[in-house]
Amino acid sequence: MANESRDFRRILAEFLSDNKITQTEFARKIGVKQSQVSEWLKGKAQPGYDTLRQMSIAYGISADYFLGIVNYY
């Protein structure tokens, strides 16, 4: 079960840091603007279903990780 304190911005920041991926690289790979990724990391917005799906497909990771349901990818 996921740790309740793991919100999306922390999960995304950890994923980017662990994998040495820049906001720009991540944005390009999932088809959004870098400014959108920045908003997510600031906690001002969260991705919608289609974007979350694209994140999972692009990186071969279960959406459960990005949703904070599991702590591994």
Look at residue 72 and tell me if it is in a domain: no
Provide the number of structural domains found in the chain: 1
Residue 71 in any domain: the answer is no
Backbone angles phi, psi at 13, to 5 degrees: -60, -45
Distance between CA atoms of residues 25 and 31, nearest Å: 10
Q: Does the residue 33 lie in any domain?
A: yes
* The pLDDT of residue 5: 55
> What pLDDT sits at residue 72?
86
Residue with tokens 């820049």: 22
Task: Answer yes or no: is 2 within a domain.
Answer: no
What pLDDT score does 11 carry? 96
Tens digits of per-residue pLDDT, 28-66?
Answer: 999 999 999 999 999 999 999 999 999 999 999 999 999
